């Protein structure tokens, strides 16, 4: 059997990349003993394309990790967490009384296009002194180190729409997302305490009990084309800041992996993806 160099597989919310590979091998017996490796991760609550290298192509992993990406993601306004997505300890900020206008959102998005320098999220696997940032965050020592930054390119950030949801429905949706992740029981991950879900559940319960069940929240949807290493969680925070409030990534879905090429006259961008 001639092996493909790679596969593009879909990761669901709550799945890990390793589970995606295991499920594929279970359903495709011819690949059961074939080495596979994923070139780039997705957050536990993110979904979408995973690039899976097959066989000898696994040896070329580093040549695939710098590919550009396209995402569709949502930003929950007026709410922030320490992880910048829903799998974190949250708090309510100043809630917008009305949805931002299209002009306000467009201005915020435009200000985040082009070359950007973003700090890595506290809950990320970027290492400092040989230890991942998320471990500092879990230990409560994140303020004792300098969080590294990364230069990225946001080729396009486009607002796709706005929706509103009342608090009662919002917290039901949040709960469903949090519970979609399988319990984590490995001893080596004891510090994370199953993604801190006992604490997170209690925090959301406390917040929901303090606000009216009919309180309106606004969720903005965007499409982003960007260079490798651009965190949608960071963009969600920055969009919220540009709009004068908090922003948290409500959903993240990776739609394309490839190369974004500039074609045509200066200032004109055309999408072309190749692997």
Which residues are catalytic, by number?
43
Cα dihedral 160→157→252→219 (10° resolution):
-50
Strand boundaries in 131-246, DSSP class E: 131-132, 149-166, 216-226
From CA 261, how far away is CA 274, in angstroms rounded?
Answer: 9
Residues facing residue 223 across a β-bridge: 72, 158
Q: How many CB atoms lie under 10 A from the CB of residue 105? A: 21
Q: Which positions ≥6 away from 240 have C-beta within 8 Å? A: 75, 77, 78, 80, 246, 247, 248
- The count of C-alpha atoms lying within 13 angstroms of the C-alpha of 160, restricted to the half-sphere facing its C-beta, is 12
* Contact by Cβ (8 Å): 220, 74: yes
């Amino acid at each position: 059997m001639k092996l493909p160099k790679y596969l593009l597989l879909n990761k669901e919310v709550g799945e890990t990349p390793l589970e995606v590979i295991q499920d594929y091998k279970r359903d495709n017996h011819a690949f059961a003993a074939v080495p596979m490796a994923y070139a780039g991760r997705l957050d536990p609550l993110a979904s979408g394309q995973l690039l899976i290298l097959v066989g000898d192509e696994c040896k070329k992993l580093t040549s695939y990790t710098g590919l550009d990406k396209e995402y569709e993601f949502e930003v929950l306004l007026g709410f922030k967490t320490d992880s910048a997505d829903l799998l974190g300890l949250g708090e309510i900020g100043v809630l917008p009384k009305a949805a931002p206008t299209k002009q306000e959102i467009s201005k915020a998005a435009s200000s985040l296009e082009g070359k950007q320098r973003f700090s890595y999220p506290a809950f990320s696997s970027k290492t400092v002194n040989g230890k991942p940032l998320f471990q500092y965050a879990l230990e409560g020592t994140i303020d004792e180190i300098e969080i590294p930054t990364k230069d990225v390119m946001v080729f396009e950030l486009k607002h796709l729409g706005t929706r509103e949801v009342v608090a009662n429905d919002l917290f039901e949706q949040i709960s469903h997302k949090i519970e979609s992740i399988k319990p984590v029981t490995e001893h080596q991950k004891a510090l994370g305490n199953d993604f801190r879900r006992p604490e997170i559940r209690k925090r959301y319960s406390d917040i929901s009990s303090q606000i009216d069940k009919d309180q309106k929240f606004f969720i903005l949807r965007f499409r982003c084309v960007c260079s490798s290493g651009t965190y949608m969680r960071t963009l969600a925070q920055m969009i919220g800041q540009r709009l004068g409030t908090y922003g948290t990534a409500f959903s993240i879905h990776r739609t394309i992996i490839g190369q974004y090429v500039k074609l045509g006259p200066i200032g004109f961008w055309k999408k072309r993806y190749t692997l």
